[in-house]
Amino acid sequence: MIDAAASRLNQGACSVPDLITLGCPHYSVDEFKTLEKLLNSRKVKDGIEFWVFTSRKTYAEIKALNFLEKIERSGVKVFTDGCPLQYPQENWKFTCAMSDSVKYANYCFSQTGLSVIFSGTRDCVETAVSGELRRELLWK
């Protein structure tokens, strides 16, 4: 059953994602703290978009705690009150997405046709900063 679920959450085939999205559902303050630690002031590689979605309330909190500035300096874009699948996809030039969200992985391929890779937050960050797919199997 686990292998069947993993197959459904990893649609298509790609070697490196050019879009990484977190925050579906919206990221919390604690998740941003973890993200900031994982980034550790490293930069997202050119050619990779890294998006995180959160609420206005959480955005204000991470801004006050100085996490927002640190995260954005790494090349991550933080959006409020939305979902990555709400953005006009006709303007997307992405070929593959990666996320730590089962919800996003489930809907991404069916709504966009993009190949999608589901993995943990650490794998998403390491992929973004290295420019190479980093992936641990979460269920083994």
Tell me which residue of 97, 132, 128 sits closest to 115, measured CA to CA: 97
Whether the predicted model's global pTM rises above the 0.95 cut = no
Which residue type occupies 111? Q
What is the distance between the alpha carbons of residues 136 and 140, in angstroms, rounded to a whole number?
9
Mean pLDDT, contiguous 10-residue spans, the chain (140 residues): 66 81 93 96 97 97 96 97 75 86 81 84 96 72
Ramachandran class of 95: left when φ > 0, alpha when ψ lies in -120 to 50, beta otherwise: alpha
| CATH number of 53's domain | 3.30.499.10
- Asked if residue 118 belongs to a domain, the reply is yes
Decide if 100 is inside a domain: yes
Total structural domains in the chain? 1
Query: Measured in whole angstroms, how far is the alpha carbon of residue 72 from the centre of its chain?
Result: 14
Residues of the domain holding 64: 8-130
DSSP 73: H
DSSP H or E stretch at residue 101: none
Q: How far apart are CA 129 and CA 123, in angstroms?
A: 10
What does the pLDDT read at residue 139? 46
How many residues are present in the chain? 140
Task: Decide if 138 is inside a domain.
Answer: no
Q: For residue 67, what are its two tokens?
A: 């996490």
In a domain, 43, yes or no: yes
Q: Tell me how far apart the alpha carbons of residues 55 and 85 are, in angstroms, rounded to a whole number.
A: 16
